[in-house]
A = this chain, B = another copy of it.
């Protein structure tokens, strides 16, 4: 899916919500444990209940890998089940030397080889350009590069001063020469909304994937105040606050209710910004 198509979906659904599909067996509603693949069944019902009000799904690969082979199988089935027209993000935070990153690109972008073809993959910037470039050779696929993450650990290195500003600013500045805003997005956590004005001077046109609204405490309106651009430019991710909104037979309805609250808020924001 390209940038124009993504913005079209946002306008169509009046939403820039991304739902994190990060299920843990211990937290699933008990009745799902009877299914052969409870994790996939959970995702399936969440997708059915929310696909008209979100524009992206983001399974974090850790939640699947932790279950070994059967987890990887659940991830494959989940990717296949996501309807076309919805932007898919493999939240994998990969990155390695060039020939190895090319293998990761196959893992997430090459259906013939791996059985999956997400629209995008999250990538860690530490190893530099040649660790990111192999993901960019796939047409209409995106790299979502970690810039300023939502966790406390962003203090350790991301906020350190370099010769040209903080490290996360350098990551944005340098990497924006590797690809245009048609193939690159940045991860920017909602837990530091004050940084968004600054980020928009560095990356005015890029989409930002924003985790940290919801369970991690970030505010949607604070992020949007400086984060919106003329293509919306934001994908707001929520996982736990939506997928665990309920814990009974009606968990999918409860998830929809939570997602709908966010969609309504997003519709207002898009209207005010004259983006609809």
Contact = CB atoms under 8 A, between A and B. Distances in A.
B68 A116 contact: yes
A191 B62 CA distance: 31
**Interface range for A:** 35 or more
Contacts of A219: none
Given A93-B124, A124-B126, A130-B151, A113 B67 contact: yes
A126 B66 contact: no
Nearest to A107: B65
Interface stretch (A36-44, A94-102, A227-235, A267-275): A94-102
A103 B174 contact: no
Contacts of A127: 93, 124, 146, 149, 151, 153-154, 158
A126 B131 CA distance: 14
30 contacts: A60-B100, A62-B96, A62-B104, A62-B107, A67-B113, A67-B114, A68-B107, A68-B113, A68-B115, A69-B72, A69-B76, A93-B95, A93-B96, A93-B124, A97-B150, A97-B151, A125-B126, A125-B157, A126-B126, A126-B157, A127-B158, A129-B156, A130-B153, A131-B151, A131-B153, A132-B153, A157-B170, A160-B162, A161-B163, A167-B167
Interface of A: 22, 24, 60, 62-63, 65-69, 71-73, 76, 93-98, 100-101, 103-104, 106-107, 110, 113-116, 124-132, 146, 149-158, 160-163, 167, 170-171, 174
